[in-house]
């Protein structure tokens, strides 16, 4: 909805990426009055954050220029595709918050039209049926530095080609027996122009067209034409399709009718994230090898994984904005992704106190059996989120790491004989440490200052530390799943001599049971987001039930103490 054209004239105009520049130029020259983009996934797997970049780019462009964006499934290879994938893709796009124009489109909707165009190319002398085997075709294609050889079947008559192509379509032939090829140039320096295959025979059941077809068009003979049918103005794809562009244009040249929208292919660099892998094949390997629990494992860079991890659509949009659109290869620091979700959750997440690694503290001068409710701020960044009441009593839990018998003055948490603040509660002083026979600390005996209620001392004395805590008898046990990066290497799939799986981080998941949570957290519903104060952001996992709440750690808070103490 932001109007980029308007921004042009404003003082603090935002710089445009190269695609926006192309669009604005096209609009200015009157080449188009409205732009139409599209997101064209093949339904053969789950979407990942790289797809999210493409979705946000395409739909974002549609929105900012008051144009339209189509969702189209590129379903020309029935053997690899399934409705399971179209469903998950639909869900992911919707979750990101985008609405496609009109109905969902499918390349398979255009199979009849594509077939007609193939006939036209045959009649015009630009396509022929080739009887060679796959190996023969491959061998005669040449290499990037050596031209290929023409097929012996290249000069068949139009009539023969028509007849043979009809037989291919009719099911008279077996898989692989013949293909339809475009007649272009076997010595082209661009491999894609060396008589590319347009149709192959596949006696396979298609998830939408069923058994109607036994020949299926190739990507190159489908994509540009689908764009053309849908009047796509700007067909945006990733860099590896750069070499396909001459072919994209060649097919369009042979079917284009004057006066219609002629789509233009534009390529941008795909997203790479540090400490992970992004290819569908490798992600599938992680799932199939049980390195993760599924496509939506919170450690996966899939959209469903990020969603389960606690990422928000807003944070992914901000992330994409910060990453930018350009043509150079890149590896984005995963820290930028983490920054984006922290930024959003800092503003949006409900605060709550949870002790992950509990240490029992008894406040000896607090009356036994007494309880009180203390007001706590729900979100210091957003007053409208109000306050809640947290129960306090004689026995509480604090984090084990928040206590040391002795420590230097840089450690401003609880020490023997020193005073700290319990957030929203009281100042307490530690007087005695109780240990088991092995010397492990099992309990702390402290006293509190009744005058410091709410965490303020009337005499104005200061304490350096403020700890989170949970009242023992009011605490609920919850399970917490702490995720770390899946790989220990910045670019696990960049090593020529090593398999990416060698770099899997064995400690990418740590489960902690029996964390102590304040009662407020019992209200949580799947997907709700919280900041466990002083620790991290968490979201309630869908595996939770009434007996057991499970929280996924989305991302830790920045921790300059941890850094300093290292």
Partner RNA sequence: UGACCGAUGGUGUAACGGUAGCACAUCUGGUUUUGGUCCAGACAGCCAAGGUUCGAAUCCUUGUCGGUCAGCCA
- Which positions are annotated as active-site residues? 42, 270, 280
Judge contact between 75 and 42, C-beta under 8 A.
Answer: yes
Q: Which of residues 527-556 bind RNA (CB under 7 A)?
A: 531, 533-534
Q: Which of residues 363-422 bind RNA (CB under 7 A)?
A: 379-381, 410-413, 421
125 is a contact residue toward RNA (CB under 7 A): no
Selected from 36, 52, 74, 310, the binder of RNA by CB under 7 A is 74
176 is a contact residue toward RNA (CB under 7 A): yes
450 is a contact residue toward RNA (CB under 7 A): no
Q: Which of residues 497-516 bind RNA (CB under 7 A)?
A: none
Selected from 331, 434, 451, 522, the binder of RNA by CB under 7 A is 331
If DSSP codes are grouped into helix, strand and coil, which group holds residue 536?
Answer: strand
Q: Kindly provide the residue ranges of all beta strands, DSSP E only, lying in 189-301, ordered along the sequence.
A: 197-201, 215-217, 234-238, 264-268
Selected from 60, 196, 298, 301, the binder of RNA by CB under 7 A is 196
CA distances from 307 to 34, 117, 237, 526 (A): 33, 42, 24, 11
Minimum gap (Å) between residue 218 Cβ and RNA: 4
Sequence-ordered list of residues with C-beta below 8 angstroms from that of 541, at least 6 positions apart, any chain: 298, 308, 481, 526, 550, 551, 552
Nearer Cβ to RNA, position 545 or 565?
A: 565
If DSSP codes are grouped into helix, strand and coil, which group holds residue 338?
Answer: helix
d(CA 464, CA 470): 20
Minimum gap (Å) between residue 125 Cβ and RNA: 21
Sheet-wide strand order for 215-217: 127-130, 179-182, 197-201, 215-217
If DSSP codes are grouped into helix, strand and coil, which group holds residue 478?
Answer: strand
Minimum gap (Å) between residue 302 Cβ and RNA: 17
191 is a contact residue toward RNA (CB under 7 A): yes
66 is a contact residue toward RNA (CB under 7 A): no
Q: What is the dihedral of CA 409, 414, 416, 418, to 10 degrees?
A: 70
CA 43 to chain CA centroid, nearest Å: 16
15 is a contact residue toward RNA (CB under 7 A): yes
Nearer Cβ to RNA, position 6 or 408?
A: 408
557 is a contact residue toward RNA (CB under 7 A): yes
Q: Which of residues 258-277 bind RNA (CB under 7 A)?
A: 269
Q: Which of residues 152-171 bind RNA (CB under 7 A)?
A: none
Nearer Cβ to RNA, position 423 or 481?
A: 423
Minimum gap (Å) between residue 168 Cβ and RNA: 10
244 is a contact residue toward RNA (CB under 7 A): yes
Selected from 141, 254, 360, 474, the binder of RNA by CB under 7 A is 141
CA distances from 94 to 201, 380, 465, 504 (A): 35, 31, 44, 32
């Amino acid at each position: 909805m932001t109007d980029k054209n308007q921004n042009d004239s404003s003082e603090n105009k935002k710089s445009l990426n190269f695609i926006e520049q192309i669009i604005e130029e096209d609009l200015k020259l009157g080449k188009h009055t409205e732009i139409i983009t599209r997101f064209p996934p093949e339904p053969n797997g789950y979407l990942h954050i790289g797809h999210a970049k493409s979705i946000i780019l395409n739909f974002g462009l549609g929105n900012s220029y008051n144009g339209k964006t189509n969702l189209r499934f590129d379903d020309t290879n029935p053997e690899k595709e399934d409705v399971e994938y179209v469903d998950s893709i639909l869900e992911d796009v919707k979750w990101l918050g985008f609405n496609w124009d009109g109905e969902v489109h499918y390349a398979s909707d255009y199979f009849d039209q594509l077939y007609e165009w193939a006939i036209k190319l045959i009649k015009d002398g630009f396509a022929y049926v080739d009887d060679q085997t796959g190996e023969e075709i491959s061998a005669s294609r040449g290499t990037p530095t050596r031209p290929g050889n023409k097929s012996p079947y290249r000069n068949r008559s139009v009539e023969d080609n028509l007849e043979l192509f009809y037989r291919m379509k009719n099911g008279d032939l077996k898989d692989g027996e013949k293909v339809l090829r475009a007649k272009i140039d076997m010595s082209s320096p661009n491999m894609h122009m060396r008589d590319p295959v347009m149709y192959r025979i596949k006696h396979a059941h298609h998830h939408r067209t069923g058994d109607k077809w036994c020949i299926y068009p190739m990507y190159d003979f489908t994509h540009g034409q689908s764009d053309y049918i849908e009047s796509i103005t700007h067909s945006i794809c990733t860099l590896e399709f750069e070499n396909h562009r001459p072919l994209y244009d060649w097919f369009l040249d042979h079917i284009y009718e004057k006066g219609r929208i002629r789509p233009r292919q534009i390529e941008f660099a795909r997203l790479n994230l540090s400490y992970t892998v992004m290819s569908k094949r490798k992600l599938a390997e992680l799932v199939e090898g049980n390195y993760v629990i599924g496509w939506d494992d919170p450690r996966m860079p899939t959209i469903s994984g990020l969603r389960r991890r606690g990422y928000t659509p807003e944070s992914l949009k901000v992330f994409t904005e910060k990453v930018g659109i350009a043509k150079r290869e890149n590896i984005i620091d995963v820290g930028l992704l983490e920054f984006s979700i922290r930024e959003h959750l800092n503003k949006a997440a409900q605060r709550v106190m949870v002790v992950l690694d509990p240490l029992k503290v008894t406040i000896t001068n607090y009356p036994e059996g007494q309880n009180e409710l203390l007001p706590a701020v729900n979100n210091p960044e957003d007053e409208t989120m109000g306050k809640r009441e947290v129960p306090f009593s004689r026995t509480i839990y604090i984090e084990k790491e928040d206590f040391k018998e002795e420590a230097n003055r840089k450690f401003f948490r609880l020490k023997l004989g020193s005073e700290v603040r319990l957030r929203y509660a009281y100042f307490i002083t530690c007087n005695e440490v109780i240990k088991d026979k092995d010397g492990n600390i099992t309990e702390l005996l402290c006293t509190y200052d009744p005058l410091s209620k709410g965490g303020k001392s009337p005499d104005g004395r200061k304490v350096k530390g403020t700890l989170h805590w949970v009242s023992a008898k009011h605490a609920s046990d919850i399970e917490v799943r702490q995720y770390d990066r899946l790989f220990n290497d910045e670019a696990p799939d960049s090593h020529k001599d090593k398999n990416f799986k060698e770099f899997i981080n064995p400690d990418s998941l740590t489960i902690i049971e029996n964390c102590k949570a304040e009662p407020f957290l019992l209200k949580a519903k799947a997907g709700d987001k919280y900041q466990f104060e002083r620790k991290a952001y968490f979201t309630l996992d869908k595996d939770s039930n009434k007996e057991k709440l499970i929280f996924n750690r989305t991302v830790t808070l920045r921790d300059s103490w941890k850094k300093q103490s290292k």
